[in-house]
């Protein structure tokens, strides 16, 4: 009699397993063939601090402004009306800081990038145990002090060409590095 009860119990379990497998197979086409997706797009604005190994942070304080010289063969932050870019560097180790010159304008009127050459210079002021140094080429690094320090960096950008730059808006990116 016990054997009959075991068989009935086994049949009940087998029926439950088969029902579960059948339900899973029935749902498979939905998983394998989802509805077609509709393309979409969105805009995300980014901003923030650049951090290197959590021990050197660069916080951009003010963007720079480049203005033309009298014959428009130069756009520079050193020309009348121009403005240096400013960044504060917070460091807890001895790093080299430098400023990379752009290779091109990220925004320029047609022909604005033709034959343009770029140069960056920078200087620094100690805010807290940082480095104070006079103007130097962007690719000439300055070594920060070991230990916690804050150095304010002033960046100048200059773009030159032999003929006049076309009229329009210009944007370029100089990259401050802490390596």
> Percent of the chain at pLDDT above 90?
62
The pLDDT of 5-10, averaged and rounded, is 49
In this prediction, residue 159 has a pLDDT band, given cuts at 50, 70 and 90, of very high
Average pLDDT of the segment spanning 163-176: 93
> Is a pLDDT exceeding 50 seen at residue 30?
no
50, pLDDT greater than 80: no
**Cα(68)–Cα(45) distance, integer angstroms:** 30
The pair of structure tokens assigned to 153 is 């960096």
| Predicted pLDDT of residue 14 | 46
Residue 87 contacts residue 176 (beta carbons within 8 Å): yes
Residue 51 has pLDDT above 60, yes or no: no
Lowest mean pLDDT among 41-55, 113-127, 144-158: 41-55
Burial of 49-85, coded b for 16+ CB within 10 Å and e otherwise, reads: eeeeeeebbbebeeebebebbeeeebbbbbeeebebb
Question: Is pLDDT at 42 greater than 50 in this prediction?
Answer: no
Of 55 and 7, which is predicted with more confidence? Answer: 55
In the prediction, which pLDDT does 35 show? 41
Give the gyration radius of the chain's Cα atoms: 32
The topology (CATH level 3) of 50-178 is Immunoglobulin-like (2.60.40)
């Amino acid at each position: 009699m016990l054997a009959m009860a075991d068989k009935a119990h086994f049949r009940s379990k087998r029926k439950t397993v088969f029902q579960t497998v059948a339900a899973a197979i029935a749902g498979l086409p939905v998983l394998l063939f989802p509805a077609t997706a509709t393309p979409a797009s969105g805009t995300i604005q980014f901003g923030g601090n650049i951090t290197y190994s959590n021990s050197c942070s660069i916080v951009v304080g003010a963007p720079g402004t480049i203005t033309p010289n009298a014959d428009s063969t130069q756009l520079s932050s050193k020309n009348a009306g121009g403005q240096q870019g400013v960044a504060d560097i917070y460091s807890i180790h001895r790093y080299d800081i430098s400023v990379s010159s752009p290779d091109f304008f990220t925004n320029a009127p047609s022909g604005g990038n033709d034959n343009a050459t770029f140069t960056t210079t920078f200087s620094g002021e100690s805010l807290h145990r940082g480095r104070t140094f006079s103007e130097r080429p962007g690719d000439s690094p300055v070594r920060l002090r070991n230990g916690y320090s804050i150095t304010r960096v002033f960046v100048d950008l200059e773009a030159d060409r032999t003929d006049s730059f076309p009229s329009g808006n210009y944007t370029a990116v100089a990259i401050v590095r802490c390596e």
